[in-house]
Structure 1
Amino acid sequence: MEALQEKSVDFEAICRKAGLKVTRQRLEIYQELVRSTDHPTAEALHRRLRRNLPNLSLDTVYRTLATFAHHGLISRVETAESLSRFEATFARHHHLICRRCGKISDFSWPHLDDVSLPPDVSDWGNIDSKNIVIYGICGQCLNELPEKI
């Protein structure tokens, strides 16, 4: 709970610096993302938030997420299905995505983070981040399949 309060204070300071009003809806959307470990879609966030904010529209969630991403408050995780998922985790990490159920898991790989890019890639231009996305079938889905893949 302390970490959530700390991130909320940071959130409010970042919003003010960016000239964004800190509304209850924005704060609730951000806090739900901070609490989430499943990289929710806008629709999933909307469903969760409607319990406390019954008048919250899906359009507001979409617009708020786009604004947050634009100002660097959250990250957008693009999947192979071109389905945007969101997270408020900025610690260096990468993603595992299950092709069957869509579950996204975070993992760290410090060795990879320290590896230099090949010359043909590093000459491409200004690279500001390196992210690995690994696709496969998660252990839970493998256990549910009649035959192992």
Structure 2
Amino acid sequence: MKIKQKEVEQRMDHFEAVCRAEGIKLTHQRIEIFREIAQAGDHPDADLVFRRVRNRIPTISLDTVYRTLWLLNDLGLVVTLITSRGRTRFDANLSRHHHFVCGRCGFTRDFYSDNLDNISLPESVATYGEVEATHVEVRGLCHRCAVK
């Protein structure tokens, strides 16, 4: 699933603005790695980003992809998801949203819910620390895995 071009362009503009503000060089590799995350709706892991970007930049290394993805995370340009299989996946959608995750194949997609955005947490959560954000992850079997 590809993201709408207008949304990709907005994410790219934000990426460039943040990098400039932080004094981060806008290298061809960084631009293409971020573009891959910005246009992907499947929340790819580093290996998948590497394979996709390598089609455009054959000389890119897996190490460059990993370092760039974690830089993007540190800059707040992407968020990470940890799947049940232990792979870190990257998401450039910074708006409030939630995820459906297939427990068998790892298929991951965004969904939106006003009800979940406004979920009321138990008071006991405050004893752990200050809540900055909530995110609901719904796990199940995707249609493809359910048919198998």
For the criterion TM > 0.5, the same-fold answer is yes
Unpaired stretches in structure 1, ≥5 consecutive residues? 145-149
Tell me the percent identity. 39
The offset of 1:128, in angstroms, is: 0.6
The offset of 1:88, in angstroms, is: 0.6
Deviation per CA, 1:62-111, whole angstroms, max 9, x where unpaired? 00000000110111111122210011111211111111111011111211
Question: Once structures 1 and 2 are overlaid, which stretch shifts more, 93-102 or 52-61?
Answer: 93-102
Question: Once structures 1 and 2 are overlaid, which stretch shifts more, 52-61 or 101-110?
Answer: 101-110
Opposite residue 122 of structure 1, the aligned amino acid is A
The offset of 1:6, in angstroms, is: 3.0
The offset of 1:29, in angstroms, is: 0.6
Structure 2 length normalisation: TM-score?
0.91
Distance 1:51 1:143 in 2: 32
How many residues are treated as equivalent by the alignment? 144
Following superposition, which runs of at least 4 residues in structure 1 exceed 2 angstroms of deviation?
Answer: 1-7
Give the secondary structure class of the aligned counterpart of 1:64. Answer: helix
Q: Is 1:34 aligned with 2:42?
A: no
The offset of 1:115, in angstroms, is: 2.4
Distance 1:79 1:17 in 2: 32
Label 1:3 to 1:97 Cα distance change in 2 as closer, same or farther (>3 A).
closer
Unpaired stretches in structure 2, ≥5 consecutive residues? none
RMSD: 1.2
Opposite residue 51 of structure 1, the aligned amino acid is N
Distance 1:3 1:103 in 2: 22
Q: 1:1-149 residue pairs with structure 2 within 5 A?
A: 1-144=5-148
Question: Once structures 1 and 2 are overlaid, which stretch shifts more, 117-126 or 55-64?
Answer: 117-126
Look at both structures and tell me which one has the larger radius of gyration over its CA atoms. 1
